[in-house]
């Protein structure tokens, strides 16, 4: 499908030069079909494509842009930083400033190490968990994504008590076998696994609000139960708050649900849209990281001054304005509007949401775990996605992704999205 001459020419050339035409798979629109949109610029809640069309953006760069595109404070901070040099590979004040801000907002972290992506944060935190416990096995949950490190590109083995198998060619079976994959929101399954193999487990890694199978909030007691299992069996609890950090509350999901993890991974909002990530926890654990301790982890661009400045500006605005209740109200307005629009069109749907992140599933029933969301009608989502694009709304190009709002998405913008959804769903219902 043509998106205009400039877009089409870029897409043709991109496919020649980049595998699949992109630098991260979901951007290629394979799950919804059609040609990806090339963007020229963003402003507040809007994206503008290379043909000059405007869209309400509900992707927000997959989470980082909690203040919308090109927020003046972030632009000013990044510009000022880059004018003083883009990288030093040596200590700079911005690292101390951002660390101070992060540790105030996330009290379970007494020290933090900055890295360049969520993948890197998780990979490093798992190395630390293995070193600290002297154990090799890690536990993750089906439908949770933690980046593309080998130990995490793993699918469930054939039985609940077996360890994982590679989920991508190139992942060694011996590494995958050290990762157990259990059903999300199923505490009984985790208890059964720990009863059999708890003494081998270095850590449980979990998205405290699953957001990579679409948004699936934790069942009451699930996170508390994981905390108790870790305590009983001497394993560490790692909350991957790459999506939820600074988004669902100042202190992320751990603050929202009152469950304290041992280790936390962050990214996205932390860097204000620049490449960034972080992991942290109690001082005694973090003192194991090189050069304080023996666990090796390093990075040429880690603590990059431009990323630090942009991240600090974004966290400063959050701390000053405390936008979480307002974001929650916007999320509620959108979720209610979408649910009404589906009902009016006679289309079965479930809207999940925590604060400003959520997903509209074309699903008859609750979206409470991976098995349930897999029953969603992905064909209908693909048609909906195309119909929303036509109406000027940019949704994540997959049924199994989170939608994100920013402080720039005011009620009028949200109503624009709801109106587009009503039109799109009505068109879908009659098609």
Binding stretches for ligand PMP (CB under 6 A): 62, 117-119, 122, 145-147, 207, 211-212, 240, 242-243, 267
Residues 6+ apart with CB under 8 A from 430: none
Report, in Å, the least distance between residue 357 CB and ligand PMP.
11
Residue among 59 and 242 whose Cβ is closer to ligand PMP: 242
Specify which residues 359 forms β-bridges with: 352
C-alpha closest to that of 37 among 24, 23, 48 = 48
Report, in Å, the least distance between residue 62 CB and ligand PMP.
5
- A 10 A CB-CB count for 255 gives 19
Residue among 211 and 308 whose Cβ is closer to ligand PMP: 211
C-alpha closest to that of 206 among 188, 231, 228, 181 = 181
Residue among 198 and 272 whose Cβ is closer to ligand PMP: 272
Residue among 198 and 355 whose Cβ is closer to ligand PMP: 355
Tell me the three state secondary structure of residue 158. coil
Tell me the three state secondary structure of residue 333. helix
Residue among 183 and 275 whose Cβ is closer to ligand PMP: 275
Asked whether the beta carbons of 164 and 176 are under 8 A apart, the reply is: yes
* CB burial readout 134-157, b (16+ within 10 A) else e: ebebbbbbbbbbbbbbbbbbbebb
Annotated active-site residue 145? The verdict is: yes
Please identify which of the residues 186, 240, 262, 369 carries the catalytic annotation: 240
Tell me the three state secondary structure of residue 180. strand
Concatenate the DSSP letters of all residues of 86-129 into one string.
S--SS--HHHHHHHHHHHHH-TT-SEEEEESSHHHHHHHHHHHH
Report, in Å, the least distance between residue 203 CB and ligand PMP.
14
Report, in Å, the least distance between residue 133 CB and ligand PMP.
21
Structure tokens at 157: 């083995």
Helix (H), strand (E) at residue 378: helix 378-390
Please identify which of the residues 49, 57, 140, 145 carries the catalytic annotation: 145
Report, in Å, the least distance between residue 75 CB and ligand PMP.
22
* Rounded Cα distance, 197 and 55, in Å: 50
Residue among 106 and 243 whose Cβ is closer to ligand PMP: 243
| Whole-number CA gyration radius for the chain | 21
Annotated active-site residue 268? The verdict is: yes
Place of tokens 């951007």: 27
Please identify which of the residues 49, 262, 268, 279 carries the catalytic annotation: 268
Residues 6+ apart with CB under 8 A from 108: 251, 254, 260, 261, 262, 264, 281, 282
Report, in Å, the least distance between residue 127 CB and ligand PMP.
15
Helix (H), strand (E) at residue 131: helix 118-133
Report, in Å, the least distance between residue 199 CB and ligand PMP.
27
Annotated active-site residue 240? The verdict is: yes
C-alpha closest to that of 167 among 156, 158, 178, 159 = 156
Residue among 324 and 404 whose Cβ is closer to ligand PMP: 404
Catalytic residues: 145, 240, 268
């Amino acid at each position: 499908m043509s998106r205009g001459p400039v877009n089409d020419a870029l897409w043709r050339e991109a496919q020649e030069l980049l595998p699949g035409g992109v630098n991260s798979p979901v951007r290629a629109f394979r799950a919804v079909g059609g040609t990806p949109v090339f963007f020229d610029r963003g402003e507040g809640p809007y994206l503008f494509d290379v043909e000059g069309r405007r869209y309400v953006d509900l992707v927000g760069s997959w989470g980082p842009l909690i203040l919308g595109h090109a927020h003046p404070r972030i632009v000013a901070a990044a510009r000022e930083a880059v004018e003083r040099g883009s990288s030093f590979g040596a200590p700079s004040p911005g690292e101390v400033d951002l660390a101070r801000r992060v540790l105030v907002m996330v009290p379970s972290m007494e020290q933090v190490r900055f890295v360049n992506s969520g993948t890197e944060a998780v990979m490093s935190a798992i190395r630390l968990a293995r070193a600290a416990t002297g154990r090799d096995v890690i536990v993750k949950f089906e439908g949770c994504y933690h980046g593309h490190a080998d130990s995490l590109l793993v699918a469930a083995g054939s039985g609940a008590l077996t360890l994982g198998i590679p989920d991508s060619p190139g992942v060694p079976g011996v590494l995958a076998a050290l990762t157990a994959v259990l059903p999300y929101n199923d505490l009984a399954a985790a208890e059964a696994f720990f009863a059999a193999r708890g003494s081998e487990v270095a850590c449980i890694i979990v998205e405290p609000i699953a957001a990579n199978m679409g948004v699936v909030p934790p069942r009451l007691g699930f996170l508390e139960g994981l905390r108790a299992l870790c305590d009983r069996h001497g394993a560490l609890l790692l909350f991957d708050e790459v999506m939820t950090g600074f988004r669902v509350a100042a202190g992320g999901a751990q603050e929202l649900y009152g469950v304290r993890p041992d280790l936390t991974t962050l990214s996205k909002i932390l860097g204000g849209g620049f490449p960034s990530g972080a992991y942290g926890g109690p001082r005694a654990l973090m003192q194991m990281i090189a050069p304080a301790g023996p666990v090796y982890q390093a990075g040429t661009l880690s603590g990059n001054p431009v990323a630090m400045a942009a991240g600090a500006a974004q966290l400063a605005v959050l701390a000053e304005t405390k936008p979480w209740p307002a974001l929650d109200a916007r999320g509620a307005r959108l979720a209610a509007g979408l649910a009404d629009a589906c009902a009016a069109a006679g289309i079965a749907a479930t809207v999940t949401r925590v604060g400003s992140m959520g997903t509209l599933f074309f699903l008859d029933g609750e979206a409470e775990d991976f098995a349930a969301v897999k029953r969603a009608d992905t064909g209908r989502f693909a048609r909906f996605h195309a119909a929303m694009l036509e109406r000027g709304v940019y949704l994540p190009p997959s049924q199994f992704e989170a939608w994100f709002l920013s402080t720039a998405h005011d009620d009028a913008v949200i109503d624009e999205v709801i109106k587009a959804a009503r039109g799109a769903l009505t068109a879908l219902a009659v098609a």
